[in-house]
């Protein structure tokens, strides 16, 4: 398959390495000071650009009917705009806040635990996420997805960054060193705590998942999620 990489930072390079190992060809690389190859000849584009460039990159590919895999977070105000382009151009679009297979299993576990904990009102939920100092958005897209999974299965109505609220889930964000990503969900009572955690050791899991998604989406039409790729 012919891949286009929209964003060629650390994630773009990690994706390139895995894609080449799996026998694919990188025919286009686009970044702030880089524009190599022909995007429109690609079988699929993978976007891991900075948030400010995401919508333009995604729209550019979709408008030429190139399916897009997107792992950039911090741009979702324009999600409807992007999906409408994909539908209009009869192509495919898949956004995930995290492409790691382990994280997507963690999303599922988080929802199941939230359903169980809903009947135990003595426990209150909170979340922490820690990433490297280069990550621009807070909370992380992964944390937001986890929060949505808890809210959907509880009486909480929203989440707040660094704030407590009667009907809100508190998310605390930290930016430290070169940490790839750690997310923990805690249920606290006067008697004990219950905590589930996912800790990434490196970026390979994110890169591998995005390549798997790219392989899966070619030839499909519509709007998809990582659940579709993994049959979750």
Annotated active-site positions, please? 131, 135
Beta-carbon contacts of residue 195 (< 8 Å; ≥ 6 apart): 184, 185, 186, 187
φ, ψ (nearest 5 deg) of residue 220: -100, 160
Cα-based distances in Å from 195 to 11, 50, 117, 129, 202 = 29, 32, 12, 13, 22
CA–CA separation, 49 vs 5, rounded Å?
A: 9
Asked whether the beta carbons of 138 and 128 are under 8 A apart, the reply is: no
Residue with tokens 């922490």: 128
Beta-carbon contacts of residue 42 (< 8 Å; ≥ 6 apart): 2, 3, 4, 27, 28, 61, 66
């Amino acid at each position: 398959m012919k891949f286009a990489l929209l964003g060629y930072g650390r994630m773009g390079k990690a994706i390139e390495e895995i894609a080449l190992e799996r026998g694919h060809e990188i025919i286009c690389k686009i970044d702030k000071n880089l524009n190599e190859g022909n995007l429109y000849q690609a079988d699929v584009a993978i976007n891991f650009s900075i948030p400010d460039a995401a919508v333009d990159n995604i729209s550019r590919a979709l408008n030429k009917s190139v399916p897009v895999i997107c792992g950039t977070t911090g741009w979702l105000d324009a999600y409807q705009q992007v999906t409408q382009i994909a539908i209009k151009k009869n192509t495919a679009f898949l956004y995930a806040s995290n492409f790691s297979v382990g994280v997507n299993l963690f999303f599922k576990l988080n929802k199941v635990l939230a359903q169980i904990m809903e009947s135990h009102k003595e426990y209150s939920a909170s979340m922490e996420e820690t990433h490297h100092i280069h990550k621009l958005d807070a909370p992380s897209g992964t944390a937001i997805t986890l929060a949505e999974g808890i809210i959907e299965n509880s009486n909480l109505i929203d989440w707040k960054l660094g704030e407590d609220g009667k009907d809100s889930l508190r998310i605390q964000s930290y930016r430290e060193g070169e940490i790839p990503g750690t997310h923990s969900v805690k249920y606290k009572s006067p008697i004990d705590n219950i905590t589930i955690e996912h800790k990434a050791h490196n970026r390979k899991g994110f890169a591998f998942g995005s390549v798997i998604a790219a392989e899966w989406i070619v030839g499909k039409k519509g709007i998809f999620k990582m659940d579709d790729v993994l049959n979750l």
